Amino acid sequence: MLHEYKGKYPVVQEDVFLAPGCQIIGDVKIAKGSSIWYNATLRADIGSITIGEFSNIQDNSVVHIDTEYPTIIGNYVTIGHNAIIHGCEISDNCLIGMGAIILNGAKIGEGCLIGAGALVTENKIIPPKSLVLGVPAKVIRNLTDEEFEQIKEHAKEYFNLAKSYSKK
C-alpha cells in the first residue's frame, strides 16, 4: 500500500482512509481527512504529489507526475473513478468527473467542475468556478453558487463515507 522509492516515503496525515489495494509510492504527501479509494495509484517516482485536506481520490484513478510538473491537489477536491491526473495543479473545491484526464502543466482554478470523460490538454488554464466539458475540454459556463457549494458538500460526504469504512 505505502511504498518507498529512492529514499522517499509517503507521508500520510491523521484521519486519512487508505482503501485496500491502493498504491502510494514515493514522494507523496496526503493531508488530514483525505481518502484514497480501492485500486487508486499515486506514483511520485520522478517528482512530488501533494493532496490537500478532505480530498478524495476514487477507485482506479491514477495520479502521476512529470519531472517538470509536480501534481498538486487542493483541499475539498473530488477525483472521480478512473480519472488520470498527470503533472497538474487542481485548486480547492473542485470536482473532477469520472474518467477525466488532466495533463501536464494544466491549472484548474478554484471551484471548477471538470465533466466525466473530459480531456484537459497540456498547459491549459481553467478559470475559477468553470464548468468544463469535452474532448478537448472547453469552458461551457460559470458554475452557479449552488453548484459551487455542492462540490464542497460532495467532498464532505466522501470524508464521512471514509470514516464509516474506517470503523469496520
Cell of 55: 480530498
- Pairing, β 125-126 against β 2-3: unpaired
Cβ 37 vs Cβ 165: under 8 Å: no
Distance CA 136, CA 146 (A): 26
pTM of the model: 0.97
May I ask the CATH architecture of the domain 2-166? 3 Solenoid (2.160)
Cell of 11: 507521508
- Per-residue model confidence as pLDDT tens for the chain (168 residues): 999 999 999 999 989 999 999 999 999 999 999 999 999 999 999 999 999 999 999 999 999 999 999 999 999 999 999 999 999 999 999 999 999 999 999 999 999 999 999 999 999 999 999 999 999 999 999 999 999 999 999 999 999 999 999 875
What is the pLDDT, as a whole number, of residue 16? 97
The helix (H) or strand (E) run that includes residue 162 is: helix 145-166
- Which residues are within 8 A (CB) of 160 and not within 5 positions of it... i.e. 6 or more apart? none
Which of left, alpha, beta for 151 (phi over 0: left; psi -120 to 50: alpha)? alpha
Domain edges within the chain: 2-166
Cβ 152 vs Cβ 122: under 8 Å: no
